[in-house]
């Protein structure tokens, strides 16, 4: 437990530093471009490491608390705590934006402004709480575990599909301007499902290849059927 508390405290500190550091860096003109790629959008990075890593750190804290604290073992209780925390983040973010309005036409604001970050995190936490309350007691399905185990890979693939890569436009540039409101909202779940299918299919193919390779090696070693 002491190690868990130390890890949680470290994650909280890093989350705060990443948000405030990203905000300060986005307004600095004295950064080397190689450093700027990690902390702001001016060098072309749409999702710089700072402050976005704070979302990962905050999620890791909640997961660790869920595992370590007996009174948070209940999915319903965890959902209520996450909802309360999300509502608090959302209210603080909105109040901050109300006291210090920002120009939301500026991409750097959406990425690194602390008030916008808090609002975005709060909305995400509230959404997680709703899903946990609605689905948390349902039996876990193997396919859902497979998708969840590849969440980071799915996230990366969907970014490439949306924004492309150097020299190649993504869906945002190719299709985005032609979509209306309904098409935009439907595109999100469709893209997620497509990316999940691609990632899980690739992972299954790799696993199958490893099994076939292992079988072939055993047959070569033992001169017959695998043991």
Per-residue pLDDT tens digits for 4-26: 565 556 665 666 666 666 566 55
Contact indicator for 68, 87 with CB cutoff of 8 Å = no
Per-residue pLDDT tens digits for 144-177: 777 777 888 888 888 888 888 778 888 888 888 8
pLDDT of residue 99: 82
Whether residue 56 is predicted with pLDDT greater than 80 in this model: the reply is: no
Return all residues near 144 (Cβ < 8 A) that are at least 6 apart.
none
The mean pLDDT of 210-216, rounded to a whole number, is 79
pLDDT of residue 101: 76
- Rounded to an integer, what distance in angstroms lies between the CA atom of residue 78 and that of residue 72? 5
Computed on alpha carbons and rounded to an integer, the radius of gyration of the chain in Å comes to: 22
Task: Give backbone dihedrals phi and psi of 168, rounded to 5 degrees, phi first.
Answer: -135, 125
* Token duo for residue 172: 């945002």
- Rounded to an integer, what distance in angstroms lies between the CA atom of residue 47 and that of residue 55? 12
Does the predicted model carry a pTM greater than 0.85? no
* Token duo for residue 135: 């689905």
Of the pLDDT bands very low, low, confident and very high (cuts 50, 70, 90), residue 74 is confident
- Rounded to an integer, what distance in angstroms lies between the CA atom of residue 173 and that of residue 198? 22
- Rounded to an integer, what distance in angstroms lies between the CA atom of residue 126 and that of residue 132? 10
pLDDT of residue 22: 59
> Which has more confidence, 62 or 20?
62
> Which has more confidence, 218 or 182?
182
pLDDT mean across residues, the chain: 76
pLDDT of residue 87: 92
> Which has more confidence, 142 or 44?
142
* Token duo for residue 132: 């946990």
- Rounded to an integer, what distance in angstroms lies between the CA atom of residue 86 and that of residue 98? 18
The mean pLDDT of 203-216, rounded to a whole number, is 81
- Rounded to an integer, what distance in angstroms lies between the CA atom of residue 21 and that of residue 221? 56
Q: Which of 92, 74, 90 is nearest to 132 (CA)?
A: 74
Separation in Å, CA 150 to CA 143, 145, 156: 11, 9, 10
The 8-class DSSP code of residue 74 comes to: S
pLDDT of residue 21: 62
- Rounded to an integer, what distance in angstroms lies between the CA atom of residue 89 and that of residue 125? 9
């Amino acid at each position: 437990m002491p190690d868990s508390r130390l890890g949680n405290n470290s994650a909280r500190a890093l989350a705060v530093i990443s948000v405030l550091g990203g905000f300060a860096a986005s307004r600095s003109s004295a950064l080397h471009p190689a450093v700027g790629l990690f902390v702001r959008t001016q060098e072309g990075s749409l999702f710089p490491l700072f402050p976005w890593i704070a979302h990962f750190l905050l999620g890791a804290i909640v997961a660790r608390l869920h595992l370590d604290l007996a009174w948070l073992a209940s999915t319903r209780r965890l959902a209520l705590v996450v909802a309360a925390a999300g509502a608090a983040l959302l209210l603080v973010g909105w109040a901050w934006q109300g006291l210090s309005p920002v120009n939301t036409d500026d991409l750097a604001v959406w990425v690194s402004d602390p008030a916008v970050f808090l609002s975005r995190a709060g909305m995400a936490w509230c959404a997680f709480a709703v899903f946990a309350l609605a689905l948390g007691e349902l039996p876990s399905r193997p396919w859902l575990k497979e998708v969840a185990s590849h969440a980071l890979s799915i996230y990366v693939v969907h970014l490439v599909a949306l924004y492309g890569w150097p020299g190649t436009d993504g869906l945002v540039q190719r299709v985005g301007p032609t979509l209306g409101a309904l098409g935009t909202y439907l595109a999100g779940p469709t893209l997620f499902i497509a990316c999940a299918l691609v990632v899980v299919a690739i992972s299954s193919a790799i696993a199958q290849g490893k099994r076939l390779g292992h079988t072939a090696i055993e047959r070569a070693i033992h001169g017959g059927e695998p043991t």
